[in-house]
Every structure is written in structure tokens, then in C-alpha cells.
Chain A
Amino acid sequence: MNDENRKQTWLIATPVIALLLWTVVYPNVSVIAGSFENGLEHWREFASSPSDREALTTSIVISFASVVAALAIGVPLAFLLGRFEFPGRKVLRAVAALPAALPPLVGVIAFLFLYGESGVVTRSVQHVFSMPEAPWRLSGVPAIIFVHAYTMYVYVFLFVSAGLERFDSTLDEAASGLGASGWMRLRRVTLPLLMPAIAGSALLVFMNALGSFSAPYVFGGGIRVLSTQILVSKLNGALGLAYVETTVLAISAIAGLLLFRWLDRKRKYTLSAKSSRQRRQIKSRGLQTLTAIGAVVVVILLVLPHLMVVLVSFARDGAWTTQVLPPEYTLDNYRRLFSEAELWKPIVNSVSMALVATAANVVICFLAAYLIVLRRFSGRKLLELLVALPWAIPATAIALGLAATFNRNDIASLRVLLVGTFWILPLAYFIRDIPLVASAVESSLKQMDPSLEDAARGLGASWLLTMWRVIIPAAKPGLVAGALLAAVTAVGEFVASVVLFTHANRPISMEILAQLRALAFGTAAAYSVLLILLVLAMTFAARGFEERIA
């Protein structure tokens, strides 16, 4: 690498790294420092506590199981939709990302109403088989994994789909021409080429499951995981112990990060051509019927939680007791919602905060991913770590760190007063979504032939022109997918919001929480319906945008 090139790399890298150090690392250093405020005392307390050890093990077990479950659903579904043509494909494609449109708290509540002990599905099964007791109880580790698989397979699905879209089918054909069997081609050609997408999304699922809060919060009555244990300690006033638990959670996450990076280490393949997107028609009649039935079942499973939320939004609160379905329906919930003078305020707040955060994510994460994938420089490993770090830190801890750092103006210690202002939540959303956008862009860029950039430069294209003509087009599938996911996550964000929101920037999730607190399940559901519609509208807008710039 020549000197000019190196200088340029650092010119981009320095501000990006500095910004990440300031917003991601700095607040969390104070959390770690806090765990040592009494020397090793809090650490000893952690080590000697059986419930904390149990929480650690359970957290890790749940996270790995969630990865396995999400891969088991996401990869086949991406293949099915990406490679085959069959009746029902379009509908399935349209709803496949739907779980991402279910805000975390709302999704968990919908699951409770569906599969909980007194849920619709549970009671239906109980009635059909006239069982004296509910056939299952939705609680504990399996319940959490179930919810995680449902909500998080979307990451795998979107990443692998994006990977398949960039997939060069001539390679497959060449292998086939050379006599490789289907299984052989899958193992030696397809999977290695998709490894960046699979490893990247598996990492996201792992991190998300590790820091997941609302599922254990609602279903975990009997079990402990670290993310809820942190809350328990914090509410018990044992802030030092909470800091230790946060640090341990972060260490587990970083171990997970290293593991998945290691799985992804052997990337030697690059794709240079644009694939010809051809889907194979499923020909056999029997197989056609089978896939169609399968698609219908999957579509129903995917849509049920949303339907449940809609159903509850029309149900009269409290009237639904031992029946399978709510017995009384009403428009009151919506009426109450629309009579609310400040109805639009949380919605406007959430949308504008999500837009700001996502805009920042797109710029910073694109630059970071570009540096990580296509530039060789000494700060690369550091940057890679910085970008993945926010997944390693539970949202509660991100929020706590921010609250402790940006609570006053003090230039000497690099503090700016953001707590209590509008800007603290966009910052939190930005931080939370860095890994999401960055790894989506990374996996797109990894499929690009790195020599293309040098080739363009060698042919005399300026750096900006190369960016525009070569790098950005290559990054685009990941960039759009990542930005969409980021915006959707931000608009329904719950965990960091609950710690940092103020009256001025009260987001939708806090409005839903307030309604739940007031026992207005119906109104909360009605609000959730609005939120889901909003997320769908964003998804369509993003698709339209994608088509326009393509």
C-alpha cells in the first residue's frame, strides 16, 4: 500500500474511530470502572452467588439455542424463496420479514395471548382434545427460545437472501458441469460463499439473544438470565453488582463475537459477476402441493402474532376470561386512542428519532464497513471490535453508560449535556444499530472482488467516483437491508428508551407501556397496530427507494 493510500485510509478512519470510541467505548468504561469501585468486592459477590452463575449459564444456553433455531428457520426459507418458484412464493416473501415489524414488547405480549397458558392456540388445543389442563405452559427457557427464533430468524433470512441475490449462479453451474452432486455443490460452493452472511447473521442473533430483555422479562418468571438479573440488582440498589453482571455479559458476548469471527475466518472466495437471478420452477406435482401447504402453514404462523394484536385491539378489556377467543368486540380502544390530544406526538417523536439515528448509521457504518473489508491498515482490528461492541453491551447498560456520561457539559472530560434533551435517544438508537448496519454492509462488501477498487483507481477514477460507481453499488443490498432493520428497530425500541426517555421525546413504546400499565390492553394493542402499520409503511418506502436508486 502506498503512502498516499495509507494517508487517505487514516483520514477516513480517524474520525470514525474517534466517534466510536467516544460514543460506544467511553460510556461503558465508566460501567466497568463502576464494577471495581470497591476493589474486587462486587466480583467476589458475583462469583459466590449461585443465582448469578445460573443466570450466566442460562443466558449462554439460550443464546446458542436461539442461533441454532434461527438458522434452522432462516437459511432454508431464504433458499426456498431465493432459488425456487412455487405457488404462494410471493405471499411468503412478503410476510417473511414480518416478525421484524413486531415491536419487542408487543411481540412478547402477542405470544402470551396466543401460546400462553390461557392463550388462543393453547385453549383451542385443550378444547379440541378435551384436556383437563392446558397442554403446555409458555414459560422458562423453551418459551424464550421460541420467541427468539420467531423474531430473530429474520436477521438470518435477510442476510442470506441478500447473499443469494449476489450469488453467481455460473459457479454452481460450473461445479455441476464438473460432475459435482447437489449435496457436494451445496457444501463446497454455495455454503462457503454464503458463509459471511450466515456467520454475520448468526452473530447478530447470538448477541441479540444474549442481551434480550422483553422475552425473559415476560416469560422468565421462573428462570434467571443475566439481562434481567442486571435489572434485579439495579432495582435492589446493588449498582456495583449490576455493573459486574453487565461486564460479565459483555465478556460472554465478546467471546461469542470472536467465535463467530473465527468461523468466518477462511474467506478466500470472491464474486465478481452479477448473478442472473433465475429461480427453478418446482415441477413435481406432489412437491408443488407440499411446498404450497408448507408455505400456507408458515405464513399463518408468521401472521398470527400480528392478527392477535389486531384482535386484542378490538376486544373489550377484561371481558376475555376463560373463553378461547375474546367474546366481546368494540371500537372503543381506537376511539379512545384518537380522542387522545397528543396521539401523534409519540409517533412523530419515534419517526424523527429513528430517521436521525438511521441517517447517522448509514454514513458511519458504511465508512466503517468499507475500511474493515477493503482496506488493510493497523487500526482495522480495533475498528472491527468497535463496530461489533454495541451488541456485546445490553441496551440497559448502553443507556446507563450514556446517562452517566452525557449528563453535563464538560469539555475537558469530553462530556456534552444530552440527558434530558431530545438527542439522547437518537444517540442510543444510533449506538444500538451500529453492528446491525455495519455487518449488513460488510457481508455485501465481502462478496465484492477487492481488486475492483484498485482496478478503478488504476484506470484513473477519482476516489469519490470509485466510491459511487464501485463500492456503493456493491454495498447497496446490505446498506438498504441494514438501514431498514435499523429504522424499524429504532422506531419500536423499548429497552434503552425506558431508561432515557423524557416527556419531550417520549417514543411510541413508552406510550404502549403506559397503556399496559393502566391495564388498557386494548388501547395498547390499538397503539401497537399503529406502530406495525408504521413499520410496514417504512418497509414499503424502503423498497420503493431501493428500486428508484437501483
Chain B
Amino acid sequence: MMHRFPDRMRMRSLLRAAIGAFAIAGAVACSSDKRIVLTVYSPHGKELLDFLEKRFEKAHPNIDVQWVDMGSQEILDRVRAEAANPQADVWFGAPAETFDKGAKQNLLEPYKPTWASAIDGEGKDASDNWFGTYLTPEVIAYNSQAVTEADAPKDWDQLLDPKWKGKVVIRDPIASGTMRAIFGAIMVRSMQQTGKPDSGYAWLRRLDANTREYVLNPTILYQKIGRQEGTVTMWDMPDIATLEQRTKIPVKYVIPESGTPLLVDGIAIVKGTHHPAESKLYYEYVTRPDVLIESAKQFLRIPARKDIPAAQLPGWIQDALKQIKPMPVDREIMAAHLDEWMKYWDANIRNRGGK
């Protein structure tokens, strides 16, 4: 390895590479136009968010919507971590339970939208911290190649039948707002019937006995159901409908006969937003009747507003809304106990094979 006297050229080319790296980074960091940047945290996915961004920016050319796509639990976590210096302006999408937590930790800026009266008590926060945008009924879903419609479980309790042993694949309830809502509803039912959590735990224990696997991610859940690693699951209706209508994954859903938790998905303004006026514009825009109808048609979202004429919604939503029997879920009991129930489930029920 012969080295000549410190080679200036070589030094210089190294330096140049380093300066170049910083220059590129600097340019990337600073490249932005003069529009007001509105940051939206949302779990609603690229397609819907892209659609809304384009429409909104057309209507408000001075605003640049930048959305960050992540799960609703992650958003809560992030908004909490950024509370000292909020990065987001609008939090678009999370179940009521998650918003309630955010409100309790003083992370949300109350705002009463112009259409506040079009939503009933269940679908909004009493102190205007958040309002409902979409309804998400929970359903039982199955692989339609492996299970016939007649054989598919019709109600929650039928999932406990031994014939489904090793066939149930569900998302890990700890990380999933949807699964927490279903487990929570089962527990609340137990509390309301017996005043104790025991029968709820017994139910979950029997479900665990039938469960093949807890999956940590919805995409992998769909994949496993589609490829028959498991054949039945519980999930939310709009997502399953999307799979059924937009992909080739052979899946169908059943609306549980005895009733189902009807989750409300909402929107809120983040406390400490740097752009309160623009946040409100976005808030109002994505919940306009025409935008909601378009979202229902293109992205299978069921609007929460009650003043939208049912006739303008897609047929499958009209049918579903007639069939669904909302399970009465006491949000206060949920808020008070859900974390404790989930912790108990995680420590004492998960993967015990029903024992």
C-alpha cells in the first residue's frame, strides 16, 4: 500500500464529496414554496388522502397540505411526544376511544364545526374536542373460497365453536383500535350482564383457544386470510368491503346478528396548531356532504353525518346500515377499564390455548 505525500487532490476530492453531501441535504431541506404548509396526521391511507389533498389544494391554492400516514395509536403517541412543540395541525382519523384519550391529555383544540348538529351524541365529544367523520361497523370476515356462506359464523358467539379451532386469525388486539373495540364490547357486555369482568374473560379465553395466530399488522392479516392460513377473522366493514370490491382476495363479511360495535372515526384540530384558520378550512372541507359522498363512493367510507340523503350513498352502505344493530357500548366504562382489561388479557389469556 504505497502512499505518496499527502495527496492534495485526494484530500480535495474527499472534501468535495463531503461538502456535496451537505449541499444536497441543505437543498432538500430548504426546498419549499411559499404556500402555507398544513400538516395532517391520518391513518386513512394514501389514496383517500391524495384525493382530498388535490381537491382541497385546488379550492385553496395558498395552502399546501402535507399528510403523514400512520396508525391512529401511533398518532396519539406522536402528538403526545410533540406536545411541547406541535408538528401537526389536523388529526384526521382515530376511533372515539383514542380521541378521548387525546382530549383527556389536553392534546386537542376544541372546535365546533358548522355541521355540529348533524351528528348525534354518540358521534362527537361533549366538549367539541373531536367530531365523527366516518362510521366503522365491526364485522366477522371469512375466506369465501374456504368457507361457504351458510357455514360462516353469523354472530360473535359462533366464533367460539370448536369447529373454528385453529382457523381464527386476528390482529393483535394490543396494537389495534379495531380489535380493542371488539374486545372492549365483549367485556362491557359482561359488565352490564353480571357486573363483573369474569364472563368476558371466559369468552376471550375460549376465543384464544380457537385462535391460530395474532397478527401485528392488517396487511399481513389480509394476506393470511386470503391465502388460507386462517379462514375467519374479525375486522371492520369498510376495509373488508374494500378487499372484496377492489382486490382479488376472496373475502366476504357477515354483520353479526346480535349487534356490533359501531365505531365512530373522527377528526380533530391539534392543540397548539400554527395554522388554526387553515386547519378549520380542511376540517370543514373533508366533511362537506359532497366530499363525504365522493369518499363513500370511491373509498368506501360510511359518513357519520346524519343529514346526508341515504339515496346518494352506494347500495352496499344502504343495505349495511339497515342490517346493523349497534351494540350499546358505554364509552365511560370503556375509558375507565379498557387498558386494564387489555393488560389482563395480554398477561393471562393470550396464547394460553384457552386455559
Query: Which of B47, B82, B84, B101 meets A518, CB within 8 Å?
Result: B47
* A316 close to chain B: CB less than 8 A: yes
Chain B residues near A436: list those with CB within 8 A. none
* A420 close to chain B: CB less than 8 A: yes
* B81 close to chain A: CB less than 8 A: yes
- Chain A interfacial residues counted at CB < 8 A: 72
A236 in contact with B342 (CB, 8 Å): yes
Closest to A464 in B: B6
* B85 close to chain A: CB less than 8 A: yes
Chain A residues near B28: list those with CB within 8 A. 348-349, 352, 422, 505
Known pairs A221-B215, A422-B29, A499-B78; A321 contacts B46 (CB<8 A): no
A352 in contact with B25 (CB, 8 Å): yes
Chain B residues near A356: list those with CB within 8 A. 21-22, 25
Cα A504 to Cα B37 with chains together (Å) = 10
* A130 close to chain B: CB less than 8 A: no
* A139 close to chain B: CB less than 8 A: yes
Known pairs A322-B228, A549-B10; A469 contacts B69 (CB<8 A): no
Please classify how large the interface on chain B is, using the bins under 10, 10 to 19, 20 to 34, 35 or more: 35 or more
A232 in contact with B174 (CB, 8 Å): yes
* A481 close to chain B: CB less than 8 A: no
* B162 close to chain A: CB less than 8 A: no
Cα A116 to Cα B47 with chains together (Å) = 29
Chain B, 7-24, CB within 8 A of any chain A CB:
10, 17-18, 21-22, 24
B219 in contact with A519 (CB, 8 Å): yes
Closest to B250 in A: A321
* A308 close to chain B: CB less than 8 A: no
Known pairs A232-B175, A502-B68, A516-B219; A316 contacts B101 (CB<8 A): no
Chain B residues near A420: list those with CB within 8 A. 82, 85, 87
Query: A399: shortest Cβ distance to chain B, in Å?
Result: 9
B29 in contact with A465 (CB, 8 Å): no
* A218 close to chain B: CB less than 8 A: yes
Cα A419 to Cα B248 with chains together (Å) = 41
Cα A501 to Cα B77 with chains together (Å) = 14
Query: A439: shortest Cβ distance to chain B, in Å?
Result: 22
Query: A349: shortest Cβ distance to chain B, in Å?
Result: 6
Query: Which of A139, A234, A321, A407 meets B85, CB within 8 Å?
Result: A407
Query: A100: shortest Cβ distance to chain B, in Å?
Result: 21
Chain B residues near A419: list those with CB within 8 A. 82, 85, 87
* B291 close to chain A: CB less than 8 A: no
Cα A191 to Cα B229 with chains together (Å) = 46
Interface string of B205-234 (1 = CB under 8 A from A): 000000001111111101110111100000
A468 in contact with B3 (CB, 8 Å): yes
Query: B303: shortest Cβ distance to chain A, in Å?
Result: 21
Known pairs A51-B346, A321-B227, A352-B24; A514 contacts B213 (CB<8 A): no
Cα A520 to Cα B216 with chains together (Å) = 17
A237 in contact with B213 (CB, 8 Å): no
Known pairs A321-B226, A498-B70, A518-B45; A504 contacts B32 (CB<8 A): yes
Known pairs A468-B3, A519-B243; A236 contacts B87 (CB<8 A): no
Query: A367: shortest Cβ distance to chain B, in Å?
Result: 15
* A1 close to chain B: CB less than 8 A: no
Chain A residues near B219: list those with CB within 8 A. 516-517, 519, 521
Known pairs A235-B73, A321-B228, A498-B70; A519 contacts B222 (CB<8 A): yes
* A412 close to chain B: CB less than 8 A: no
Query: Which of A112, A237, A274, A422 meets B101, CB within 8 Å?
Result: A237
Closest to B45 in A: A518
Known pairs A118-B229, A222-B213, A236-B343; A359 contacts B29 (CB<8 A): no
B84 in contact with A355 (CB, 8 Å): no
Chain A residues near B351: list those with CB within 8 A. 222
Query: B282: shortest Cβ distance to chain A, in Å?
Result: 14
Closest to B30 in A: A422
Chain B, 255-303, CB within 8 A of any chain A CB:
none
Cα A42 to Cα B11 with chains together (Å) = 53
Chain A residues near B226: list those with CB within 8 A. 318, 321
Known pairs A231-B175, A232-B174, A348-B28; A318 contacts B227 (CB<8 A): no
Cα A189 to Cα B222 with chains together (Å) = 55
A218 in contact with B228 (CB, 8 Å): no
Chain A, 321-376, CB within 8 A of any chain B CB:
321-322, 348-349, 351-353, 355-356, 359
Closest to B24 in A: A352
Chain B residues near A235: list those with CB within 8 A. 73-74, 77, 174-175
Query: B301: shortest Cβ distance to chain A, in Å?
Result: 14
Chain B residues near A533: list those with CB within 8 A. none
Closest to A48 in B: B347
Query: Which of A118, A404, A421 meets B29, CB within 8 Å?
Result: A421
Known pairs A403-B82, A469-B3, A519-B247; A236 contacts B339 (CB<8 A): yes
B46 in contact with A221 (CB, 8 Å): no
Interface string of B146-176 (1 = CB under 8 A from A): 0000000000000000000000000010110
* B62 close to chain A: CB less than 8 A: no
* A423 close to chain B: CB less than 8 A: yes
Cα A2 to Cα B77 with chains together (Å) = 54
A112 in contact with B220 (CB, 8 Å): yes
Cα A426 to Cα B248 with chains together (Å) = 40
Interface string of A111-140 (1 = CB under 8 A from B): 010001110000000000000000000010
4 tightest A-B contacts by CB? A422-B29, A503-B66, A318-B247, A318-B248
Residues of A within 8 A of B (CB): 49-51, 112, 116-118, 139, 217-218, 220-222, 228, 231-232, 234-238, 274, 316-322, 348-349, 351-353, 355-356, 359, 400, 403-404, 407-408, 417, 419-423, 426, 464-465, 468-469, 473, 498-499, 501-506, 510, 514-519, 521, 549-550
